[in-house]
Amino acid sequence: MNYGYTKETNLSYEAAIEKATEVLKENGFGVLTTIDVKDTLKKKLNVDFDKYIILGACNPPFAYEALSVEDTIGLLMPCNVVVHEKDGKVKISVFNPMVIAQVSDNPKLKELSEKLNDKIQAVLSQI
């Protein structure tokens, strides 16, 4: 199973982060966490890495519905969005919510995953 969707963009790394955050907000998602992987790896391991940021995005109505159906689903939340610059090219990747449907036997979560998948793909297409 493909656990994410990726597209290359002509935006700069910084502009891609801004655009992703803006489009997420327009689609009902808030960014709860921001992890600067490059900075963290430099500080913790003193290694150099590409520009790489993980945005932990949450859509409260979907999150509430999922948690109401199965409280341990929080292990697969939030929906992560990655902006990665490598060799001068910027890629944006988003979590594939259908992964949840693959690991859960709960039919309500599968149904919710399909709805969220449509929304996540719409976000990626707007970036």
pLDDT in tens, 77-104: 999 999 999 999 999 999 999 999 899 9
Which architecture does CATH list for 4-126? 2-Layer Sandwich (3.30)
In terms of Cα–Cα distance, which of 93, 100, 101 is closest to 120? 93
Mean pLDDT confidence for 53-65: 96
Is the predicted pLDDT of residue 1 greater than 90, yes or no? no
Task: List pLDDT tens digits, range 25-36.
Answer: 999 999 999 999
Cα dihedral 28→34→22→6 (10° resolution): -90
pTM above 0.85, yes or no: yes
The label of the residue with tokens 């292990």 reads 75
